[in-house]
């Protein structure tokens, strides 16, 4: 997904070019294996000498293996085929959420090896909890290469501290630097969870879509934005705080201090309240009376989507999170509302769909994002 040819770059130093080329070669092998050195050179545009030296480095690092002799096409020697070494190391995707931290361990091919939920109530020692769990869970899966953490909140790009209305984390909680001290040689990245949801959605099933918005609707609401094939995070890294876009200036008060925020008006607590249930899974939207109770919620969500469409004009809007449990009748209701309020020229073109990712999109997206950049420096989502 991040394949881009970078044989040379005027301003980048040698290290950056090498990291970029290692990424290019490793990702090509991962997506096309088994492959020969010659086919890597042909596909990437790198010289055969550069490819050989990069592949040798990956072999020394145990990240790829020579797996045998391939078929001869033409004259000369039969090529030696290269594959990713599935047990050459692992990465962990982490989601910090209310009352729980979820972990998913992946091998170098991106295959999920295990999933673990850790219940927590005290967030003051979050750094130690994550460190201990990562060490314990990765034991036996080879070298730990990276940890990528998704959070439901805004992140101070400089201090790596998190502000959230959804998790009881204090502004001075220093979990990120605890992790960096505990794992000095491991890549550690931090980002908003919705960005990882958008990333995995595109990587798994929406590769051809350049501009999409993933709206994650749970207790909280956030958006992951992909523009021109890249995660868009804005000047300070916190674009996509869509839950705090107001859809009613006289609406109910939100924890952030504003009124009528989408999160307050259409998050799962508001949905359950409107339907008169305690859990979203209890709602049967094939019943017309039940669906009617959710009409205002659908209007708020449609108003939010309309705002985002008018602002950045994506090709697709994907709704994910618990809202998917409301099924097709609810989605149809949102589409009908959009047809009423949106410019025709927009509504005819845009698709509004539910997420198609199985499992936890945050841990999966975090793991995939990290694997796609395993040779690159940087600790924060900056595309
Ligand atoms: Zn708010």
Tell me how far the alpha carbon of residue 186 lies from the centroid of ligand 1, in angstroms: 35
Of 84, 116, 141, the domain-final residue = 84
Instruction: Examine residue 334 and state whether it is found in any structural domain, yes or no.
Output: yes
Instruction: Examine residue 6 and state whether it is found in any structural domain, yes or no.
Output: no
Clarify whether residues 163 and 218 are in a common domain: no
Which pLDDT does position 183 carry in this prediction? 95
Question: Is this structure's pTM higher than 0.85?
Answer: yes
Tell me how far the alpha carbon of residue 314 lies from the centroid of ligand 1, in angstroms: 23
Clarify whether residues 253 and 333 are in a common domain: yes
Tell me how far the alpha carbon of residue 157 lies from the centroid of ligand 1, in angstroms: 21
Tell me how far the alpha carbon of residue 254 lies from the centroid of ligand 1, in angstroms: 5
Q: At what angle do helices 48-60 and 14-32 cross, to 10 degrees?
A: 80
Tell me how far the alpha carbon of residue 332 lies from the centroid of ligand 1, in angstroms: 26
Q: Cis before residue 34, ω within 30 degrees of 0? A: yes
Tell me how far the alpha carbon of residue 95 lies from the centroid of ligand 1, in angstroms: 21
Tell me how far the alpha carbon of residue 221 lies from the centroid of ligand 1, in angstroms: 10
Clarify whether residues 178 and 292 are in a common domain: no
Q: What is the Cα gyration radius of the chain?
A: 23
Tell me how far the alpha carbon of residue 252 lies from the centroid of ligand 1, in angstroms: 10
Tell me how far the alpha carbon of residue 227 lies from the centroid of ligand 1, in angstroms: 24
Tell me how far the alpha carbon of residue 4 lies from the centroid of ligand 1, in angstroms: 38
- pLDDT tens-digit profile, the chain (383 residues): 444 444 554 555 888 888 889 999 999 999 999 999 999 999 999 999 999 999 999 999 999 999 877 676 666 677 899 999 988 999 999 999 999 999 999 999 999 999 999 999 999 999 999 999 999 999 989 899 999 999 988 888 888 888 887 899 998 999 999 999 999 999 999 999 999 999 999 999 888 899 999 999 999 999 999 999 999 988 877 788 899 999 999 999 998 899 999 999 999 999 999 999 999 999 999 999 999 999 999 999 999 999 999 989 999 999 999 999 999 999 999 999 999 998 877 777 889 999 999 999 999 999 999 999 888 876 665 44
Clarify whether residues 233 and 330 are in a common domain: yes
Instruction: Examine residue 7 and state whether it is found in any structural domain, yes or no.
Output: no
Q: What angle do CA 366, 13, 161 make, to 5 degrees?
A: 35
| Residue closest to 219 by CA, chosen among 252, 249, 262, 248 | 262
Which pLDDT does position 2 carry in this prediction? 47
Which pLDDT does position 29 carry in this prediction? 95
On whether the CB atoms of residues 243 and 222 are closer than 8 A, the answer is: yes
Which pLDDT does position 126 carry in this prediction? 96
Clarify whether residues 54 and 97 are in a common domain: no
Tell me how far the alpha carbon of residue 244 lies from the centroid of ligand 1, in angstroms: 4
Clarify whether residues 223 and 350 are in a common domain: yes
Which pLDDT does position 90 carry in this prediction? 96
Which pLDDT does position 260 carry in this prediction? 95
Instruction: Examine residue 202 and state whether it is found in any structural domain, yes or no.
Output: no
Q: Other C-beta atoms within 10 Å of 368: how many?
A: 23
Ligand 1 ion: Cβ-proximal residues, 5 Å cutoff: 244, 254, 256, 258, 261
Which pLDDT does position 164 carry in this prediction? 83
Which pLDDT does position 75 carry in this prediction? 64
Residue 264 belongs to domain spanning: 209-354
Clarify whether residues 184 and 222 are in a common domain: no
Q: Other C-beta atoms within 10 Å of 140: how many?
A: 10
Clarify whether residues 35 and 65 are in a common domain: yes
| Residue closest to 106 by CA, chosen among 89, 90, 121 | 90
Tell me how far the alpha carbon of residue 46 lies from the centroid of ligand 1, in angstroms: 49
Tell me how far the alpha carbon of residue 262 lies from the centroid of ligand 1, in angstroms: 7
At residue 101, the 3 state secondary structure works out as strand
Clarify whether residues 227 and 332 are in a common domain: yes
Number of domain units in the chain: 3
Tell me how far the alpha carbon of residue 263 lies from the centroid of ligand 1, in angstroms: 7
Which pLDDT does position 237 carry in this prediction? 76
């Amino acid at each position: 997904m991040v394949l881009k040819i970078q044989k040379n770059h005027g301003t980048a130093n040698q290290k950056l070019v090498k990291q970029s080329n290692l990424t290019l070669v490793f990702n090509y092998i991962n997506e096309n294996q088994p492959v020969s050195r010659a086919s890597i050179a042909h596909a990437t545009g790198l010289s055969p000498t550069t490819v050989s030296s990069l592949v040798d480095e990956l072999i020394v690092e145990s990240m790829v293996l020579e797996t045998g002799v391939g078929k001869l096409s033409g004259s000369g020697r039969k090529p030696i085929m290269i594959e990713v070494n599935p047990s050459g190391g692992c990465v962990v995707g982490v989601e910090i959420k209310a009352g729980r931290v979820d972990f998913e361990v992946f091998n170098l091919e991106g295959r999920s090896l295990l999933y673990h939920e850790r219940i927590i109530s005290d967030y003051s020692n979050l750094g130690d909890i994550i460190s201990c769990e990562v060490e314990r869970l990765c034991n036996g899966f080879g070298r730990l290469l990276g940890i990528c953490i998704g959070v439901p909140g805004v992140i101070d790009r400089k201090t790596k501290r998190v502000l959230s209305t959804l998790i009881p984390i204090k502004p001075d909680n220093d979990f990120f630097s605890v992790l960096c001290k505990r794992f000095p040689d491991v890549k550690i990245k931090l980002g908003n969870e919705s960005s990882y949801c958008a990333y995995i959605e595109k990587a798994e099933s929406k590769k051809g879509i350049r501009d999409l918005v993933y709206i994650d609707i749970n207790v909280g609401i956030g958006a992951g934005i992909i523009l021109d094939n890249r995660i868009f995070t804005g000047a300070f890294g916190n674009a996509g705080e869509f839950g705090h876009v107001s859809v009613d200036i006289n609406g109910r008060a939100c924890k952030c201090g504003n009124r009528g925020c989408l999160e307050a008006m259409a998050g799962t607590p508001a949905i359950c309240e409107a339907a008169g249930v305690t859990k979203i899974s209890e709602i049967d939207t094939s019943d017309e009376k039940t669906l009617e109770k959710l009409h205002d919620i659908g209007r708020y969500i449609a108003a939010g989507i309309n705002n985002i469409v008018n602002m950045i004009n994506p090709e697709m809007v994907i709704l994910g999170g618990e809202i998917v449990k409301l099924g097709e009748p609810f989605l149809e209701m949102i589409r009908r509302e959009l047809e009423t309020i949106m410019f025709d020229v927009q509504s005819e073109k845009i698709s509004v769909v539910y997420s198609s990712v199985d499992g936890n999109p945050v841990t999966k997206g975090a793991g995939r994002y990290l694997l796609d950049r395993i040779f690159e420096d940087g600790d924060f989502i900056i595309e």
